[in-house]
């Protein structure tokens, strides 16, 4: 497969990252606005890459780890642009864009690999399982990245070191709202993805071996962690710094399940 659109989107993600960093150093909102448009271009080029994949082999966005990571990066960046349009959080892109670049760099290591799809991944439920799960995890990641900026800004406020930078950075309320939206929308999507995946896995492999797979166990751990966070937000009323810190911890668990545990899995090596 021609990876032209993928390479072009990676370059645009790099440019957006540079623009956001310059905007922080120079404290120029206009640079953040330009970087946001460049990030939008990166997401559009990335979308063209997936459309090219769809035209070539149908609705299978991820048949190996590298494609899954690429799709994950696209979801995080695209979700950020969507919420940024409704909140004054342009500078959050200074965290989101570099995160997307790191994921894209990892994806670039194998994005031009073989397109051979294992027999177990030929089922109709596979694309649904993968798509729903990665979208849910992408929204969780965005919630966690908002938590990172929340903690940074909250620490500066507590130490009274904001100065003129305070007017430039997003409000703590907006960052907390993004965290809330990420949890609220990500959880049901991941839940549906896991349910569909369980049905497919039992059909494809039978028995209960798939349930004891490290990737399955860690995915369930991620689900439990975010279920706890969402419960604490909705039922207990947790918000602000406490939920932001736990969201960051949840991101570590999420990345471990999404990438790290993949190498220990016997049945989930394709993602």
Mean pLDDT, residues 145-166 taken together: 79
Backbone angles phi, psi at 34, to 5 degrees: -65, -45
Q: Which of 107-111, 151-155, 168-172, 203-207 has the lowest mean pLDDT?
A: 203-207
* Among 26-30, 48-52, 62-66, 262-266, the range of highest mean pLDDT: 48-52
pLDDT at 271 over 50: no
For the stretch 1-36, pLDDT in tens is 568 899 999 999 999 999 999 988 887 888 889 999
Q: Tokens at residue 172, please? A: 């703590």
Sign (positive or negative) of CA dihedral 134, 138, 144, 148? positive
Mean of pLDDT over the chain: 84
Instruction: Please name which of 179, 203, 211, 193 lies closest in space to residue 89, comparing C-alpha atoms.
Output: 179
Q: Say how many C-beta atoms besides its own lie within 10 A of residue 270's C-beta.
A: 18
**pLDDT of 216 strictly over 80:** no
Read off the pLDDT of residues 221-243 as tens digits, 9 standing for 90 and up.
889 999 999 999 999 988 889 99
Please say if the pLDDT value at position 82 is more than 50.
Answer: yes
Distances (CA, A) of 144 to 80, 104, 151, 221, 258: 12, 19, 10, 16, 15
54 vs 227, more confident = 227
* Whole-number percent of the chain with pLDDT over 90: 45
Q: Considering the entire predicted model, what is its pTM?
A: 0.89
């Amino acid at each position: 497969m021609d990876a032209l659109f993928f390479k072009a989107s990676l370059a645009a993600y790099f440019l957006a990252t540079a623009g956001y960093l310059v905007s922080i150093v120079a404290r120029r909102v206009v640079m953040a606005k330009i970087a946001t448009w460049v990030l939008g271009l990166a997401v559009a080029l990335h979308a063209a890459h997936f459309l090219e994949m769809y035209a070539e082999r149908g609705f299978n966005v991820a048949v190996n780890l590298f494609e899954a990571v690429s799709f994950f990066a696209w979801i995080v960046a695209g979700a950020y642009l969507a919420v940024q349009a409704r909140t004054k959080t342009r500078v959050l892109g200074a965290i989101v864009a570099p995160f997307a670049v790191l994921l894209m760099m990892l994806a670039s290591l194998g994005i031009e690999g073989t397109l051979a799809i294992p027999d177990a991944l030929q089922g109709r439920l596979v694309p649904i399982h993968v798509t729903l799960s990665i979208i849910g995890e992408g929204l969780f990641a965005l919630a966690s990245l908002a938590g990172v900026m929340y903690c940074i800004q909250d620490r500066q406020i507590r130490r009274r070191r904001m100065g003129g930078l305070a007017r430039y950075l997003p409000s703590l309320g907006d960052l907390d709202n993004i965290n809330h939206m990420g949890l609220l929308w990500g959880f049901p999507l991941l839940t549906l993805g896991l349910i569909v995946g369980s049905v497919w896995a039992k059909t494809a492999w039978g028995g209960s071996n798939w349930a004891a797979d490290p990737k399955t166990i860690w995915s369930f751990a991620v689900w439990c962690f975010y279920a706890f966070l969402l419960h604490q937000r909705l039922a207990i009323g947790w918000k602000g710094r406490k939920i932001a810190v736990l969201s960051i911890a949840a991101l570590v668990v999420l990345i471990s399940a999404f990438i790290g545990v993949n190498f220990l899995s016997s049945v989930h090596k394709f993602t």
